[in-house]
Amino acid sequence: MSSPSRPAEPGHRPTAADYYAVNRGGGLFSEAVSQRIGAQLAVFAYRNRLSPTVMTIGNLGIGCLTSFVVIAAAGPVAAGSGFGWLVGLLALLGWQLAYAFDCSDGQLARVTGQTSAAGGRLDVLCDVAVQSALVAALSATAKAQEPDTPAWLLAAFAATWMVNLVTSVMQHGEQASSMVTSRSLPVRAVKLVRDYGAVIAVAGVLLTVAPQWTVWFVALFTLVNGGFLAASIAFAGRAALRG
């Protein structure tokens, strides 16, 4: 929320299209779904005089509460309780709604001219809290479903997941760069594997229909994010050597 913006003209009530026009993308799924829902939430916030900070806190509350429920239910679901699908559905909807709130706060701030350094810091800190809780929820589910899941895998999953957040923050500002700049549909489809909106959608569906496979989700995304981290280091290192 800290980037420069062009405030809405006096007397003009911004529409969902106005908010969507200043979205920060995030990937094919995020742009097509999460950012559009975020634009609708921004319209609601503007009409009800809610600040971008309120939307940021909404992301924090919904995201963390959803993950806490998943953590609390991990044991009973693994033991065969019949409400496992309900917990998964809650995760699917709750995480998506939290992310939509996260999309909306920046859209609202940029369109209404309410951007600030403090708001930007709060946004990032809340993202860290929400994603930390989400990683804990997936790790707890994997461990409950497969008690033999090695501790090193869960630790590596948590560490490499943060690559998503760090690289997202690094995509803004003077030092922003991308290893693959093409926006062709095939390239963007491949990038879905690191599209936060798409990833949490897959995680939610998995918890709904097959929570016993969560450990494989954890292993796969540890490899994906670990590989992306290695590639990013090599990309940045080459650029630094070239001066």
The predicted-structure confidence for 27-77, as pLDDT tens digits, reads as follows 899 999 999 999 999 999 999 999 999 999 999 999 999 999 999 999 999
For residue 117 the two structure tokens come to: 């350094």
What CA–CA distance (Å, rounded) separates 234 from 198?
A: 26
What CA–CA distance (Å, rounded) separates 105 from 57?
A: 9
For residue 31 the two structure tokens come to: 């742009």
Q: Which CATH class is domain 16-172+181-241?
A: mainly alpha
Residue 4 has pLDDT above 50, yes or no: no
Domain boundaries, given as residue ranges, for the chain = 16-172+181-241
The predicted-structure confidence for 104-130, as pLDDT tens digits, reads as follows 999 999 999 999 999 999 999 999 999
What pTM, to 2 d.p., does this model score?
Answer: 0.89
The predicted-structure confidence for 193-228, as pLDDT tens digits, reads as follows 889 999 999 999 999 999 999 999 999 999 998 888
Short-list 156, 144, 167, CA closest to 73: 144
What CA–CA distance (Å, rounded) separates 82 from 132?
A: 27
Amino acid 24: pLDDT: 86
Question: How far lies 103's CA from each of 42, 68, 171, 201, 220, in Å?
Answer: 9, 22, 16, 15, 26
Q: Which of 79-93, 113-127, 184-198, 221-235 has the lowest mean pLDDT?
A: 184-198
